[in-house]
């Protein structure tokens, strides 16, 4: 049976109806159109989180005004919502307080500084609209740190590069994508921080190709990476994806024992070296 959720007040509904409108006319899935994105993330959490919402501890990185944090909190989750800026987050914190959501905490913190040693463990981590604002090597350290503190499910929604224009190296691996400018070279810090839909301080960001992002999640230690297509998101940009990364134990198999404990790159070299036979 579907959970009956509390009704939000008019001020809260107006806040979320304005979400992302700073991106300007023509930006996909902003304002009221963001509804389908929120629905998708909640469905993924319900289906893959491993427990009912009221038994989950959720971390929302780069939370903005906190629409995902509040939705999860309304369902009973214990939520920690973090953002390096307060401009939008303070509205979400006020919304949570007005609605008595003592289980939802908002704090000003940089996602790059979050560690298991300082923040503990979470069954579910949201990384929504964040990765494509990070540059190398920060994006890799964030994924590594999230893998350490996430015990079950990481939900990512991010822009990707549809073409491989450059590559970056990390820990002996190479990842394709492109670098995107976030700020001008000489922009002062206060100007950078005032651009609430861009990075906090880095001038460039690295956008993975779809395949490279999946490999980066695999290399960070996630056992399965799934791309979500339903619930549908009408109007989703072609270069934006929703991924669910699961932290589990690697599966061993008896029917092809040569595969067990073999590193993924070696498996790829072995199979591609033999051709593309199918069964």
Checking DSSP bridges between strand 166-170 and strand 173-181, what pairing results, if any? antiparallel
Q: What is the pLDDT of residue 23?
A: 85
Q: Where are the alpha helices (DSSP H) in 49-150?
A: 67-74, 89-98, 116-119, 138-149
In what helix (H) or strand (E) does residue 168 lie, and over which residues does it extend? Answer: strand 166-170
Q: How many other CB atoms are found less than 10 A from the CB of residue 231? A: 14
pLDDT in tens, 157-173: 999 999 999 999 999 99
| Contact status, residue 179 vs residue 166, Cβ threshold 8 Å | yes
170-222: pLDDT as tens digits: 999 999 999 999 999 999 999 998 898 899 999 999 999 999 999 999 999 99
Ordered domains of the chain (ranges, CATH):
10-252 (3.40.50.150)
For residue 25, what pLDDT is reported?
81
| Nearest CA-CA partner of 135 in 200, 207, 84, 243 | 207
Which pairing describes strands 78-83 and 204-208: parallel, antiparallel, or unpaired?
Answer: unpaired
Q: How far apart are CA 69 and CA 24, in angstroms?
A: 24
34: helix, strand or coil:
helix
Instruction: Look at residue 99 and tell me whether its pLDDT is greater than 80.
Output: yes
Q: Which residues of 191-226 are buried (b: 16+ CB within 10 A; e: fewer)?
A: ebbeeebbbbebeebbbbbbebbbbbbebbebeebe
When pLDDT is averaged across residues 240-263 and rounded to a whole number, the result is 95
Residue pair 87/76 in contact by the 8 Å Cβ criterion:
no
Question: Please, which residues have CB within 8 angstroms of residue 175's CB and are 6 or more apart in sequence?
Answer: 167, 168, 169, 208, 209, 212, 213, 215, 216
pLDDT recorded at residue 278: 42
pTM of structure: 0.94
CA 29 centroid distance within chain: 16
pLDDT at residue 4 greater than cutoff 90: no
């Amino acid at each position: 049976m579907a959970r009956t959720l509390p009704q939000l007040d008019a001020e809260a509904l107006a806040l979320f109806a304005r979400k992302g409108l700073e991106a300007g006319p023509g930006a996909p899935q902003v304002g009221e159109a963001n509804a389908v994105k929120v629905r998708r993330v909640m469905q993924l959490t319900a289906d893959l989180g491993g427990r009912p919402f009221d038994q989950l501890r959720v971390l929302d990185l780069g939370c903005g005004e906190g629409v995902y944090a509040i939705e999860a909190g309304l369902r009973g989750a214990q939520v920690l919502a973090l953002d390096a800026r307060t401009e939008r987050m303070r509205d979400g914190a006020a919304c949570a307080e007005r609605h008595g959501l003592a289980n939802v905490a908002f704090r000003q913190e940089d996602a790059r500084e979050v560690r298991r040693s300082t923040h503990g463990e979470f069954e579910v981590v949201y990384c929504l609209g964040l990765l494509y604002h990070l540059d190398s090597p920060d994006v890799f350290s964030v994924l590594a740190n999230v893998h350490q503190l996430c015990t079950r499910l990481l939900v990512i929604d991010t822009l990707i590069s549809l073409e491989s224009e450059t590559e970056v190296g990390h820990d002996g691996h190479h990842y394709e994508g492109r670098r995107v400018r976030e700020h001008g070279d000489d922009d002062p810090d206060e100007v950078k921080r005032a651009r609430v839909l861009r990075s906090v301080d880095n001038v460039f960001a690295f956008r993975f190709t779809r395949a490279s992002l999946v490999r980066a999640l695999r290399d960070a230690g996630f056992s399965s990476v799934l791309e979500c297509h339903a619930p549908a998101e009408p109007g989703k940009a072609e270069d934006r994806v929703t991924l669910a990364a699961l932290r589990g134990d690697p599966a061993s198999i008896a029917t092809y024992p040569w595969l067990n404990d073999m590193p993924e790159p070696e498996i790829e070299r072995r199979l591609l070296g033999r051709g593309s036979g199918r069964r």
